[in-house]
Amino acid sequence: MNAFNNAMTSLFDVLLKPFELLGPYGALILLSGAFGVFGLWVFKHISWQGGIKLVKDKIKGHLIEVRIYQDDLVVVTKSIGKILARNLQYIALNFGPFIPLMIPFGVLASQFVVRYAFAPLPVEEVREDFLPGQGTVITIEMAKGHERDVNTLTLEFPDGLVPVGPLHRAASRGQAYQEVIATAPGAHELVLTAAGVSETKLVYAGDEQPRVIQPERRAASDWFNAFLWPGEQSFGSDSPFHRVVFAYPDREIAWLPDGALGVILSILVFSMLFGFVMLKPLGVQI
């Protein structure tokens, strides 16, 4: 999964470079639109276009039957039954070809989320009146079979990342919690060590937006979630760590909802909008 994520990240670095001359939201809109047109073109070549047109024509024919023979309950009932059956056939003909398109959509969504959904942590000062809950809570979850290794867990904080309060362990669940604040801008590498194995988690802070930023680092064995978070390497199979996660602030996305929700909505809206515009020029039945 790491090799795949690295390849996709490098590819998107190249693809987005010219688009980002228009700003991050220009890249988000235009590449989403380009994906919509590409997906429509692929759909045309992997779907049964003649079958879709035939089913649509038959549905129209049955609707005409209902209109003409509206006073004949038997004919109307049969026609409605045929319409429902043809609708199921129509859905199947359209849905099947969309399944392979879910993979490139997932790649696009995961890349866009780590690039545009989150902002770095704010830089704060350590204060005497600082209350629990005002910082950022980092959750560390141990891998299955390594739950008790949480008792050996230690954290090494870089300059610019300060713990607030002690490390809390829940050995029965194999989890630990540490609240932190960022006191300096930049990329901070938190080092976690348990059972003699050390791993890291990047923590970004300040006003400068990095190329990719993600709140989670996952184990490679959790392949689906590792696929969704391509910005950092997954934990290896021999690592005692399963997940390290915390919440970055949502990045503002102009007039769309902030954060990951706004990114996903942008992809859906603009890919469908561009695709709808290109339906007739591409001659696609859908």
Are 7 and 113 in a shared domain? yes
What HEC string does 39-104 produce? HHHHHHHHCCHHHHHHHHHHHHHHHHHHHHCCCCHHHHHHHHHHHHHHHHHHHHHHHHHHHHHHHH
Structural domains counted in the chain: 2
Task: Examine residue 198 and state whether it is found in any structural domain, yes or no.
Answer: yes
Quick check: helix, strand or coil at residue 15?
Answer: helix
- Encoding tokens for residue 130? 């600082």
Question: Which residues of the chain, if any, have pLDDT below 50?
Answer: none
Task: Report the predicted TM-score, pTM, of the whole model to 2 decimal places.
Answer: 0.83
pLDDT in tens, 53-83: 999 999 999 899 888 888 888 888 888 898 8
- Encoding tokens for residue 208? 């400068």
The pLDDT assigned to 122 comes to 94
Task: Examine residue 127 and state whether it is found in any structural domain, yes or no.
Answer: no
Task: Examine residue 34 and state whether it is found in any structural domain, yes or no.
Answer: yes
Are 169 and 276 in a shared domain? no
| CATH number of 154's domain | 2.60.40
The pLDDT assigned to 101 comes to 85
pLDDT in tens, 229-263: 998 999 988 899 999 999 999 988 767 778 888 89
Backbone torsions φ then ψ of 39, nearest 5 degrees = -60, -40
Q: What is the DSSP letter of 147?
A: G
The pLDDT assigned to 237 comes to 84
Are 149 and 220 in a shared domain? yes
Task: Examine residue 166 and state whether it is found in any structural domain, yes or no.
Answer: yes
Q: Which domain holds residue 87?
A: 2-117+259-282
Cβ 245 vs Cβ 277: under 8 Å: no
Task: Examine residue 44 and state whether it is found in any structural domain, yes or no.
Answer: yes
Nearest-angstrom CA–CA distance, 261 and 108 = 14
Q: Report the candidate in 265, 262, 244, 245 with the shortest Cα–Cα distance to residue 254.
A: 262
Are 6 and 113 in a shared domain? yes
Classify residue 203 by burial, with Cβ atoms within 10 Å: 0-12, 13-18, 19+: buried
